[in-house]
């Protein structure tokens, strides 16, 4: 019955070899599916804003509201805006990093479950879903960067900027992206088995704006933490990214005399390294669990 296995192979060369179905190169295979990726991002955005008159305008309204609340309460009522130049820009540049992180983390964690119709019926590299979710978060992130950039320019950013600030911005974006994706992939996989993951992520996200120096300065924290803990605090990739954004966007608009946290770029680099290692681990865990997604959902 199996005698025909090797015969006629020349005629049907285009069919290729026998392969085991359901295997992919993981995150790398997402690159191969970039057209599908862009369609899934479009679909997600459409679903998000279905029946909405203002549509994408909400991506401006939400962060600006959040910004004004923080600014009025922390900056004016609690007087933080008096300690240092351009507090508004300091606040906004850190805030958008944390917002991007929390949204990435939240949507990626839910991505496998929310695409269960597809996951259960058609084989695709499942990394597509967290990656496309992060793209959606990015679509919400860019307008905030644009607003920030506009106000930085108005406040004389071009007079103070040099290449180190640009490096800081790029490194900050890379770090928070990789870190958010890593956690999103990991928790997205866990969420298939225990929906507690979603709730856990919500708790972390609630803490995130307070955990990193967004409203306050990192120097305030160092007075309360022992040195070694302070190092860890600064290496936490979200904090490292926020500090890099502070340095890249806010700092050039000031007279650049305020003391920064030491080794800012170095910390950023280490934070990026940590995020990459985590992504590697997260992908390994994801691949182990991936085979059971369809039957557990």
Residues that bind other proteins (CB under 8 A): 1-2, 4-5, 7-9, 12, 15-23, 33, 35-36, 39-40, 42-43, 46-47, 50, 117-124, 193-194, 291-292, 294-296
* Burial (Cβ within 10 Å: 0-12, 13-18, ≥19) of residue 223: exposed
- Give 82 or 121: the residue with its C-beta nearer to other proteins: 121
- Give 13 or 227: the residue with its C-beta nearer to other proteins: 13
Cα–Cα distance, 265 to 196 (Å, whole number): 36
Min CB(25)–other proteins separation in Å = 14
- DSSP classification of residue 260: P
Min CB(96)–other proteins separation in Å = 28
Give a three-class secondary structure readout of 54-88: CHHHHHHHHHHHHHHHHHHHHHHHCCHHHCCCCHH
3-state secondary structure of 155: coil
- Give 23 or 262: the residue with its C-beta nearer to other proteins: 23
Min CB(205)–other proteins separation in Å = 22
Q: Is 198 within 8 Å of 191 (Cβ atoms)?
A: yes
Cα–Cα distance, 230 to 129 (Å, whole number): 35
Cα–Cα distance, 247 to 86 (Å, whole number): 13
- Give 38 or 262: the residue with its C-beta nearer to other proteins: 38
Min CB(33)–other proteins separation in Å = 8
- Give 11 or 227: the residue with its C-beta nearer to other proteins: 11
Min CB(117)–other proteins separation in Å = 6
Cα–Cα distance, 69 to 168 (Å, whole number): 27
- Give 125 or 237: the residue with its C-beta nearer to other proteins: 125
Min CB(296)–other proteins separation in Å = 7
- DSSP classification of residue 259: P
């Amino acid at each position: 019955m199996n005698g025909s296995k090797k015969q006629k192979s020349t005629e049907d060369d285009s069919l290729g070899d026998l392969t085991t179905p359901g295997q992919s190169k993981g995150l790398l295979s997402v690159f191969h599916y970039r057209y599908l990726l862009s369609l899934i991002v479009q679909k997600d955005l459409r679903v998000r804003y279905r029946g909405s008159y203002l549509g994408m305008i909400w991506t401006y309204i939400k962060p600006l509201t959040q910004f004004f609340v923080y600014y009025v309460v922390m900056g004016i009522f609690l007087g933080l805006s008096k300690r240092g130049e351009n507090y508004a820009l300091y606040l906004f540049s850190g805030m958008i990093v944390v917002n991007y992180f929390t949204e990435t983390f939240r949507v990626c964690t839910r991505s496998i479950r929310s695409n269960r119709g597809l996951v259960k019926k058609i084989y695709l590299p499942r990394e597509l879903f967290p990656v496309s979710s992060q793209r959606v978060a990015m679509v919400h992130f860019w307008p905030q960067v644009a607003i920030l950039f506009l106000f930085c320019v108005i406040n004389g950013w071009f007079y103070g900027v040099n290449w180190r600030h640009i490096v800081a911005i790029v490194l900050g974006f890379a770090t928070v992206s990789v870190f958010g994706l890593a956690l999103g992939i990991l928790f997205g996989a866990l969420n298939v088995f225990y929906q507690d993951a979603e709730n856990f992520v919500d708790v972390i996200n609630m803490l995130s704006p307070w955990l990193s120096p967004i409203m306050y300065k990192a120097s305030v924290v160092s007075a309360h933490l022992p040195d070694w803990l302070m190092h860890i605090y600064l290496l936490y990739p979200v904090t490292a990214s926020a500090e890099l954004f502070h340095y890249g966007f806010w700092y050039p608009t000031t007279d650049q005399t305020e003391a920064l946290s030491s080794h800012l770029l170095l910390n950023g680099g280490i934070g990026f390294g940590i995020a990459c290692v985590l992504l590697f681990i997260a992908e390994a865990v994801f691949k182990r669990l991936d085979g059971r997604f369809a039957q557990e959902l």
